[in-house]
Amino acid sequence: MRKKRLVFSALILFTLFLCQTWSAAQPQEAVDILGKASAGVVTFKAWDNSKNVVGEGTGFALAENLVVVPYHLISQATEAEVTSISGKSGKVEALVATYKDYDLALVRIKGKVNGLSLGVSTGLKAGDRLFALSEISGQVIITEGNLRNWLEISPGRLRVMEVTMNLEKPACGAPIFDVQGQVVGVALVFGAGVKFGVPVEAVSAMNTQAKGQDLKGAAKENYLEQAEGSFLVGKSAALMNEPGMGSVYLEKYLKFKPDDLEGYVLLGQSYFKLGNTTESYKNFAKALLLNPDHAQALYGMGLTQLRERKFKEAAEFLEKAISNRVESKEIYFELGTAYEELQDLARAAENYEKYARSGPANPFPAWLKLAQTYQRLNQPEKAIAAFREALKINPDDINCNYNLAKMLAETNQLAEAEEVFKKLATRNQRDAITYYGQIMQMYDRAQNYEKAVEAARKIVEINPKNEVALYNLAIMYDRLGKLEEAASTLNECLAVKSDYTHAWFNLGIVYDKMKKHAEAVEAFKKYTALAPDDPSGWLNIGLEYMLMKDFEKALPNLEKSVSLNPNNAVAQYNLGITYINLKDNYSAREVLKTLQRLDQNLAGRLAKLIK
């Protein structure tokens, strides 16, 4: 007798429902099932007339000579046999009964196998533990999983068990047990993502008393190419989110049933998931020809148009789907997207909020979109409220926190804005300068220069050799009225970058405020050396010399400024004053002529001074 090795499979599920790998200590239920039921499980193999293998899998005994196997494994066979765990083989004598809707066949064999005890599946619910028993490559394998869901293949007529078991194709036909060790289903495996259980009631419905037909004489067909098989596999695959297999078999099925509205909807959904919007649109359109008000078909049409960026058509289909009571929360988010692209921001916001409040698994994107839409609508308070809702769900989202802080700053909620920006600086130190820069700017706009200086200092602490950071700190010192600190910081800035034109110009301004006119002249000269075409630099040198009453030195600088910008009334006025102080009334009168064209007020003042 051939010896078999008993092995418990390592259970590695492709879902989040079960994350258990069996160790040496197996569950007692599995041990009991293995002991009681293994003698009733067989391997199955079938051949056609040319001795080609047309089916391999698993079966189990109902009685000593009656075995249940998947119909598609025997539908083309002229010869088949089963092998028990003990190693005994027995030929299939007859095809006793079939239940093609569920891909089941009952065969009579030569020999005896222990029959298994059947239970009921009707009481099973999502999360219930299940076990499948099979023999693969000489190993008896018991695999544990859960019932994930009941899938309605044909509502009110056919349904199957979606399971979380790691079943390979050789396990197709394996019995599925509940925790009491009763058979509650038959495992069908068509691919890694398409495995499910047929309820045991379908097995009980087959006529065990039928005489049956000799296997060689039975009609031959490729079950998976027929209406029942392509429907079962195609719809199951589509419902289990396996659009590749779903589309292949649904295409086959609809050739047999071209008036099946639900088939077109499922095929449209499968093609949509595969990214084939042309075929998706075509099948949803066929469904709508059969029923123009079908909610899921309308929804599918809306999604295809949305993907094709035909937003007007998308919005129309999605609105019709909603009016026909489509079962979808996500449709409001998608409708919001369509209206946003159409620049109908009010409707976009309305739908984003409906989605966010509908209780979706992850409402964060909806609240974030809603907040951003309210920003665009210039409704800051509503935007702030939506950002707060988003942050309840994902409090560490950087983009959401940043936009909330900016909105708070724009609505003068400065203390809270500062708190959020500082929190961001702590959590995302790479961009800390940006956040402190925002704090500095908002306090600068609010003329709270103490706080602006505080933020600017923090930026310099982070990057002490950055000329822009030093320059901004100096500007804040200047605005606060701390001129000594402003001048000192500008000199630090220029030590880092000696050709920083703005720093030289502002250093001249600060020295002017400090009445250090000679130092101001030197700063403005540095500026004009770097920016010789800017008339403001020459003007300020001239003004500083005027303040020092050195009109001889003021004159060429003012003339240079006026030559660069003859339409500057202030420069023209000061040039006229300088001519008067140099006793050149003729030139002053020439300036007056120009000034009368530019600024009557300044011209009047200059005219009173000309003798």
Paired tokens of 5: 């090795």
pTM: 0.76
Backbone torsions φ then ψ of 532, nearest 5 degrees:
-65, -15
Work out the average pLDDT over 177-183: 94
Closest-CA residue to 306 (of 333, 279, 346) = 333
pLDDT in tens, 295-326: 999 999 999 999 999 999 999 999 999 999 99
Closest-CA residue to 556 (of 534, 541, 577) = 541
Residue 18 has pLDDT above 50, yes or no: no
Higher pLDDT, 136 or 389: 389
Query: What is the distance between the alpha carbons of residues 420 and 435, in angstroms, rounded to a whole number?
Result: 9
Closest-CA residue to 135 (of 112, 106, 167) = 167
Provide CB contacts within 8 A for 226, sequence distance 6+: 100, 256
User: Other C-beta atoms within 10 Å of 464: how many?
Assistant: 11
Query: What is the distance between the alpha carbons of residues 455 and 470, in angstroms, rounded to a whole number?
Result: 12
Provide the residue type at 287 as one letter. A
Q: Are the beta carbons of 364 and 394 closer than 8 angstroms?
A: yes
Residue 532 has pLDDT above 60, yes or no: yes
Specify the range with the lowest mean pLDDT, choosing from 22-26, 375-379, 392-396: 22-26
pLDDT at 10: 29
Return the beta strands (E) in 515-569 as ranges: none
End-to-end CA separation in angstroms for the chain:
135
Residue 126 has pLDDT above 70, yes or no: yes
Torsion of CA 159, 164, 167, 169, to 10 degrees: 40
Report which secondary-structure segment, H or E, holds 592: helix 585-598
Report which secondary-structure segment, H or E, holds 560: helix 551-564
SS3 of 76, please?
coil
Q: How many CA atoms lie within 13 A of 290 on its CB side?
A: 18
Query: What is the distance between the alpha carbons of residues 42 and 89, in angstroms, rounded to a whole number?
Result: 9
Closest-CA residue to 459 (of 507, 444, 467) = 467
Q: Tokens 């209406």 label which residue?
A: 227
Residue 17 has pLDDT above 70, yes or no: no
Closest-CA residue to 39 (of 70, 7, 9, 83) = 83
pLDDT in tens, 455-473: 999 999 999 999 999 999 9
Provide the residue type at 50 as one letter. S
pLDDT at 8: 31
Work out the average pLDDT over 25-47: 87
Residue 578 has pLDDT above 60, yes or no: yes
pLDDT in tens, 489-523: 999 999 999 999 999 999 999 999 999 999 999 99
Q: What domains are defined for the chain?
A: 5-221 (2.40.10.120), 532-611 (1.25.40.10)
Work out the average pLDDT over 77-84: 94
Paired tokens of 21: 């790998």
Q: Are the beta carbons of 271 and 243 closer than 8 angstroms?
A: yes
pLDDT at 360: 93
Q: Are the beta carbons of 175 and 183 closer than 8 angstroms?
A: yes
pLDDT band at 12 (very low <50, low <70, confident <90, very high): very low
Residue 162 has pLDDT above 50, yes or no: yes
Specify the range with the lowest mean pLDDT, choosing from 17-21, 150-154, 588-592: 17-21
Residue 364 has pLDDT above 90, yes or no: yes
Cα angle 143, 148, 151 (rounded to 5 degrees) comes to 115
Work out the average pLDDT over 286-291: 97
pLDDT at 26: 65
524 Cα distance to chain centroid: 55
Paired tokens of 595: 């000034």
Q: Which residues of 369-396 are buried (b: 16+ CB within 10 A; e: fewer)?
A: bbbbbbbeeebbebbbbbbebbbebeee
Query: What is the distance between the alpha carbons of residues 341 and 331, in angstroms, rounded to a whole number?
Result: 15
Query: Left, alpha or beta for 83 (phi > 0: left; psi -120 to 50: alpha)?
Result: beta
Provide the residue type at 589 as one letter. R
List helix spans (H) across 394-534: 398-410, 414-427, 432-445, 449-462, 467-480, 483-496, 501-513, 517-530
Residue 196 has pLDDT above 90, yes or no: yes
Query: What is the distance between the alpha carbons of residues 69 and 101, in angstroms, rounded to a whole number?
Result: 14
User: Other C-beta atoms within 10 Å of 322: how many?
Assistant: 19
pLDDT in tens, 133-158: 988 777 788 999 999 999 999 988 99
Q: How many CA atoms lie within 13 A of 394 on its CB side?
A: 15
pLDDT at 25: 52
As a whole number of angstroms, the longest Cα–Cα distance in the chain is 137
Q: How many CA atoms lie within 13 A of 553 on its CB side?
A: 14
Backbone torsions φ then ψ of 576, nearest 5 degrees:
-60, -45
Residue 420 has pLDDT above 70, yes or no: yes
Query: What is the distance between the alpha carbons of residues 339 and 351, in angstroms, rounded to a whole number?
Result: 9
Mean pLDDT of the chain: 92
Rg (CA), the chain: 42
Q: How many CA atoms lie within 13 A of 440 on its CB side?
A: 25
Work out the average pLDDT over 52-63: 94
412 Cα distance to chain centroid: 33
pLDDT at 1: 31
Residue 64 has pLDDT above 90, yes or no: no
Provide CB contacts within 8 A for 94, sequence distance 6+: 107, 108, 211, 212, 213, 214, 215
